[in-house]
Structure 1
Amino acid sequence: MRRWLCGLTVGLAICAVAAYAGEDGSGGQHVGDTPGLEQPGGEVSASQVPVEQPAKVESAYGDMAEPEDFSGNRRPVISIPSQRGSIRDYQKTVNFARLSSPRRTWESMLRLMDEYSQEVQENGFTYANHARLVYLEEQIVNLFDLREVAPSLRSDVGMEAAVYLRDAIAHFDLPPSDTLPDRTEAFKEMKDGFPGIWNVYGSPIEISYIDSGEFKGRFQFSLYTALNARTMAQRVEHHTYVYPEFAGLREAYFNTPGPGIPDVLIDSLPGWMRRDLWGMRLWQFSIVLILTLGAVLLVLALKRLLRACSQRLPRAVGSALWLLLPLLIIYLAGKLNWFFSEHVFLTGKVLRIVHYVEEGVALLSLVAMILVGGGVLMEIIFLAPRFDKKGVNSYLIRFGLRLASIVVAAVVLLEGLQRMGFTLATVLAGAGVTGLAVALAAQESLRNIFGSIMLLLDKPFKIGQRVKVRGHDGFVEEIGLRSTKIRQLDGHLACLPNEDVARADIENISERPFIRRMMNLALPLDTPSDKVEEAVQIVRDLLAVHEVPRTEVEIAANPELEDRPRLVNEEINQPGYPPRIFFNEFNPASLNLLVIYWFHPPQYWDYLEHTQRINREIMSRFEEAGLRLALPAQRLQLAGDPSRPLEIGSREVNGDEDDLPLAGLREAESPRREPPASGSKS
């Protein structure tokens, strides 16, 4: 849990940086003058725009509707689609955002925004008109080319652009809409080499032809227009509104709380809470901070509770409970993102930062939940009694689930990054470069991982088995992704890289069906032949199966065994494996008897107990028969020294030291010194 919480913190920083970086982009469709309702020649004023007269305003709507009466007496009604109506009735009752030509797109924007503006300014955002406003917003967003915008941000970006755009053009009188081409004229111009981008009345407002995507073959306001609509509105806000009924649109949209926040609460706030900061009010920032802090405290409280509960529950249950933490984070992030967008109405960079942070937190929590969920699933599977937790199959299942969870988490991460606005090509390119760097830096580790896969698939040994690998004799304790751990017979732990283990010759001692014993009994060279045959028969009798009565201890433990004698040597007389005893060799100093038998089952300590019993019986029976085992002998012969002739033989001595055979040798080694001559100095 600590790992994915650390990853969560890093993800927050990455998402915040991405939000700032993505906000500065303008779509890359234009190079030229600063966007706005200004041209290189100077400002565009109402007197400079070629218009007929204010009375001719209705021509801007073309044949879509009758002239609007902004006094409120008459206005066109855009119906909410009925779920029971047929498709044909649905199309008749609903005025869609018509995108068949630049002219239709412009007229649709005017009509839909006029309807939206009047609804918001008259009634605000309430639960009563929520469905109607949502439907209008969906139609308005379809007017803009937002293919390069994050899918989760398209609704907010499109609506902000539409509000700023409608506010900007409300400062000017509108010329007839027939100055923009219809569908036939637009395709004719493109056929004649026109680039497929039309500026509305010579302003930076662009309508472009869409050649791919969901709206292929339609006409929408360009991404350049959507991203720069705020700048356009700011540059003309010093002009007087020609249509004052739109003067309160921006205030109503950006600074009016949604239905989830009572208007009475906002009205009761002090004046300093209504001050502007980054295009928003201080009360909006206050709500964001309070709710975010509350969500963090709730998550920390749940974490503390889970830590206390998991210590008292079984491991599998405790691990499953930890899944509640990322689930809560995902739920809170989604709810906060929705509340900030639909009720607090965050806008601009603040909205994007909050959005990226919350989307990043939810995405990382989902990835963490998938990875942790894989471990929980393993614990649940291993609860079944037929699964051996230390077997190779368990490690293969564990490796497969871990790999599957990593793959699923990677797919979810890619989808989440695309939803946040990162293109798949960029993500894959970054992943490719990163993967190449990691592959070059981790060649040894990757080889060991592939070696572990081969070990898990080939199964040359299992956990707990005794093996011999590269001189290491011991029991396998663990098969990891990088190494295999063997507990040697001397107690030392050996960690062998899986690459080396996969290529080495492996001797699996635990897989033997029996323990074979081969021993040699050496008899002296002077043993008669009949004694040799007697020795062979003694060993055969000792190794044969024979019955012995039960001991009192065995009978007391189980009275039913009183009439059932115990079979001795049954474990070395299995079908196909009888004991083999032969007089097979004349050694330089002995006669050799070869004894071979196979002990079943291959239990080492039982084998040693049986071996000890057989050895004692052989010694006892040989002593009774007068048979001796030959001792290692070595014969030395000294030659070439006439002063020390070698005498072979034996004689009894009385204990006189001078009579011992080595007495002369001592005298030879220590000759007597002659007395000094007379008259000489001593």
Structure 2
Amino acid sequence: MNLKFILFLHFYLYIVFTSNANELDSLSFNDYSSVSEKQFIEEAIIHPLNPPNTSSPRATIVSFINNMKYSHQILKATYLKNIELPGYFISDSIKEEMYQAELIFDRATDCLDLSSFPPSIQKDMSFSRAIMLKEILDRIPIPDLEKIPNKRDVEYDLENKKHPQLSHWRIPKTEIILVKQATEDSQGQYLFSKETVERIPGFYEEIKHLPYKSENYISKNFYPFYISTPGLLIPPKWISLLPDWSTTMLLNQTIWQWSALLFFIAISIGVAKVLHYILIELMSDRSAVIKQWSKVLFITCCIIIIYFLNRLLNDQVNLVGNVLVGFKIGLEALFWLLFSFLTFHFTSAIAESIINTSNAKKIGLEATYTRAIFMVLSTILTFFVIVFGLSQIGLAVLPLVTGVGIGGIAIALAIRPTLENIIASFTIFADKPYRVNDRVQVLNYNGTIESIGIRSTRIRLLSGPLVTVPNEKMATVEIENIQKRPYLKRDFNIKIKHESSIEIVEKSVQIIKDVLAVPMNSNTPDHPNHAINNMEFPPKVFFNQINNDSFNIYVVFWYFPAEWWDFMEFSEKINFKIIKSLKEASIDFAFPTQTLQLQNSSKSKASTVD
């Protein structure tokens, strides 16, 4: 129930009854209906969804006047009953009667074509436009019923005339027009045209100086009190507490309305700043999940603030006219903008929660694509929210969608490299050639994968710098994933002096095998040499080559697992053991030698130096 409507009528009725009570009691209804007041009201209450009769110009005018008239009558009787009750608040029985009056009033507004107004303000505009139209009809002459086309005239015009003339009807000597609707939901119905509804304020300004017609049941000073009375913010019996200066009109609003407007806006901004400090600034050093959900909570609170501010300014402060339209559309636009942000951050928060609960690496491939999928989803949902929001504030959506479609082609061409990288990232996601923290050799870069994004992959080189490689390249080149090797292989040569006997060489080979083997009497399962004595890859030692200056012993082993620094530490220990064991056996390593022949030219005598 719109209690704003009720309370401004309270104020109006208060003035009417205190200054013109005798005049109102003496007025009689203009007989626009063969149905009695009681029957009309009972029918409206029993069938609240039954629309007004708008099948012809006559039916529409009768419906509008009767609904406005009977709504006013209920409120008049309700007000008299309410002022006799004690207390400052409205009782349930009074609220019920007010609901009945509003129900009938809404049927009057159904006679207006409000399609020129954005959906978000149609309800609000219908109140002021209906009241102003009633003020106009109370002051201008209206033809007798028999001179206004009825449904029979409409049907005759449609069936018997080659060019039907009753597609619209104008109240004589006015620009107030009723138009036959062609839309699907109201086809064939006669409503006050949208052009007429738009121009009602101008019509009212032109006729407000005219006297009321004494033969009609008038609504004296209906609109002036509508634009100056508060809603539930100040209960009806408190109205007298307002100082006289606060009801002075300034730019079509009273001073108290401007004051209330500034007060509530300031309070809303203050509350939003406090919430921003608590939910955004204080949470800046928390985890990504907490920060995302804090943003969601902050935006939700802002939407709630906008909702209540809208209700206060509309229902309680009772703004009207262009001020109402401006603030209503502005708040509606802000509401849908915040709702689009909420949609985006809500899906992002879900993505971060999934990544966090699944223990996925926050910069890994799975985390990246979880974010990407939810980002695409949030972008689509946000787009639809924005389109719907634009339609609610009256902006044409079709040209926007068409423009986006045409501009999308140009954008696609401009971002072609980015699209190639994104598509390549999906290839990397499918093949999984590397993951975060994997050590890779690619494009002459040797380092560790630090992060995998939608557009590029970042590699921390062993020398320190961070290299960013586009995914389009990473998907087309050969990648050596060092991290995925199951073992580390080491092969090296040990050279024995050329003068050594065959027994020395055989002994050397055996010493090296013993160094690499797990001792037979070792019962320790974690002996260091277990790392190179895999059943499928045992260490190998061979006397494989006779050089000009040495005998070569080839050594190879495979270290499990492929942990680089453990491997280096183990190799160092093996080197020390081999050197120590060969020295203890008095076996010397061979060093490269070179023979130079020097010849004395004067004596022609040669000598050899080793």
Tell whether 2:469 aligns with 1:496: yes
| Structure 2 Cα separation of the partners of residues 357 and 190 of structure 1 | 49
Residues 513 and 650 (structure 1), Cα distance of their counterparts in 2 relative to 1, 3 Å cut: closer
**Structure 2: where are the runs of 5+ without partners?**
1-27, 83-89
Which of 76, 80, 96 aligns to 2:51? It is: 96
Q: CA deviation at 1:388?
A: 3.7
Asked if 1:535 is matched to 2:508, the reply is yes
Q: Which residue of 1 aligns with 2:186?
A: 215
Q: Which residue, 192, 195, 203 being the options, matches 2:163?
A: 192
CA 1:149–1:267 in 2, change beyond 3 Å: closer, same or farther?
A: same
Structure 1 distance, partners of 2:387, 2:329, is: 15
SS in 2 for 1:575: coil
Letter in 2 for 1:106: I
Tell me how far apart the structure 2 counterparts of residues 521 and 383 of structure 1 sit (CA, whole Å): 53
Q: Aligned to 2:100, what secondary structure does the other structure show?
A: helix
Tell whether the 8 Å contact from 2:597 to 2:608 is kept in structure 1 after alignment.
no
Residues 138 and 107 of structure 1, relative CA distance in 2, 3 Å threshold: same
The amino acid of 1:578's aligned partner reads P
Opposite residue 469 of structure 1, the aligned amino acid is V
8 A Cα contact 1:547 1:567, kept in partner: no
- 1 CA distance for matches of 2:497 and 2:184? 100
Q: 2:41 matched to 1:78?
A: yes
CA contact (8 A) 1:57 1:174 kept: no
User: Partner letter of residue 433 of structure 2?
Assistant: P
1:106 aligned to 2:61? yes
Match of 1:422 in 2: 395
**1:595-653, Cα deviation, whole Å (9 max, x unpaired):** 222110111111112111222222233334554444334556689x96585724359xx
Q: Would the alpha carbon gap of residues 645 and 603 (structure 1) be closer, same or farther in structure 2, given more than 3 Å must change?
A: farther
Which one of 565, 582, 593 corresponds to residue 605 of structure 1? 565
**Structure 2 residue 204 is the aligned partner of structure 1 residue 241:** no
**TM (normalized to structure 2)?**
0.81
Deviation at 1:161, TM superposition (A): 2.3
The answer (yes or no) to whether the contact 1:151–1:419 under 8 Å persists in 2 is yes
Could you give the per-residue CA deviations for residues 218-268 of structure 1, whole angstroms, max 9, x where no partner exists?
A: 333322122111112222223332247233221243333224422344433
Change in CA separation of 1:543 and 1:104 when aligned onto 2, cut-off 3 Å: same
Please say if residues 167 and 179 of structure 2, whose CA atoms lie closer than 8 Å, have aligned partners that are also in contact: yes
Q: What residue number does 2:142 align with? A: 174
Q: For residues 512 and 503 of structure 1, what CA distance do their matches in structure 2 show?
A: 21
Q: Does 1:470 align with 2:443?
A: yes
Does structure 2 retain, via aligned residues, the 8 Å contact 1:484–1:497?
yes
2:323 is matched with: 350
Pair 1:587–1:382, CA change in 2 (3 A) = same
Residue of structure 2 aligned with 1:593, choices 546, 553, 562: 553
Pairing 1:545–2:518 present: yes
CA radius of gyration, larger in: 1
**1:572 CA drift (Å):** 1.2
Matches within 5 A, 1:237-316: 237-242=208-213, 243=216, 245-306=218-279, 310=283, 316=289
Q: Which residue of 2 aligns with 1:158?
A: 126
Match of 1:224 in 2: 195
Tell me how far apart the structure 2 counterparts of residues 283 and 121 of structure 1 sit (CA, whole Å). Answer: 26
Counting only pairs closer than 5 Å after superposition, residues 614-629 of structure 1 correspond to structure 2 as 614-629=574-589
CA distance in 2, matches of 1:102, 1:523: 120
Partner of 1:480: 453
Q: Is the 8 A contact 2:447 2:461 kept in 1?
A: yes
For structure 1, the 5+ residue unaligned runs are 1-54, 67-73, 83-89, 550-562, 652-682
Q: Match of 1:595, SS?
A: strand
* Equivalent of 2:104 in 97, 117, 136: 136
- Structure 1 pair 334–307 and aligned structure 2 pair: CA distance change class (3 A): closer
Report the CA distance between 1:62 and its aligned residue: 5.8
SS of the residue aligned with 1:631? Answer: coil
Q: Could you tell me how far apart the structure 2 residues matched to 1:403 and 1:328 are?
A: 25
**Aligned-pair distance for 1:569?**
1.6
Structure 1 residue matching 2:357: 3-state secondary structure: coil
C-alpha spacing 1:456/1:204, structure 2 compared with 1 (3 Å)? farther
Q: TM-score, normalised by structure 1?
A: 0.73
The Cα of 1:425 is off from its aligned counterpart by 0.9
In the alignment, which residue of structure 2 is the partner of 1:365?
Answer: 338
d(CA) in 1 for partners of 2:535 and 2:202?
Answer: 96
Encode CA deviations 1:420-466: one digit per residue, 9 max, x unaligned.
22233133245446655655554444444444444344432222221
Verify the 8 A CA contact 2:75 2:98 in the aligned structure 1. Answer: no
The question of whether the paired residues in 2 share the 8 Å contact of 1:79 and 1:94 is answered with no
Aligned partners of 1:646 and 1:612: how far apart in 2? 50
SS at structure 1 position matched to 2:608: coil
Q: Does structure 1 conserve the Cα–Cα contact (< 8 Å) formed by 2:518 and 2:529? A: yes
Rounded Cα–Cα distance in structure 1 between residues aligned with 2:124 and 2:488: 78
Aligned-partner Cα distance in 1 for 2:598–2:408:
79
| 3-state DSSP of counterpart to 1:369 | helix
2:546 aligned with 1:578? no
Q: Does 1:410 align with 2:379?
A: no
**2:169–2:178 Cα contact (<8 Å) kept:** yes
The answer to whether the 8 Å contact 2:364/2:451 transfers is no
Provide the C-alpha distance between the structure 2 equivalents of 1:591 and 1:472, rounded to a whole number of angstroms.
Answer: 38
User: CA separation in 2, counterparts of 1:511 and 1:239?
Assistant: 93
Shift of 1:530: 5.0
Percent identity between matched residues is: 26
State the AA in 1 paired with 2:177: E
Q: Cα distance, 1:310 vs. partner?
A: 4.1
Shift of 1:188: 3.5
Structure 1 residues 572 and 337: CA distance shift in structure 2, 3 A: same
Contact persistence 2:368–2:454 (CA under 8 A): no
Give the conservation status (yes or no) of the 8 Å contact 1:521–1:593: yes
CA distance in 1, matches of 2:368, 2:527: 42
Residue 416 of structure 1 aligns with an amino acid whose one-letter code is G
Cα deviations by residue, 1:35-78 (Å, 9 ceiling, x for unpaired): xxxxxxxxxxxxxxxxxxxx9963xx365x35xxxxxxx67642
Are 1:467 and 1:509, in contact at CA under 8 Å, matched by a contact in 2?
yes
CA distance in 2, matches of 1:584, 1:141: 105
RMSD between aligned residues: 3.7
Cα distance per residue 1:54-109 (max 9 Å; x no partner): x9963xx365x35xxxxxxx676424866xxxxxxx54x87631233343223222
Amino acid aligned to 1:575: M
CA contact (8 A) 2:598 2:606 kept: no
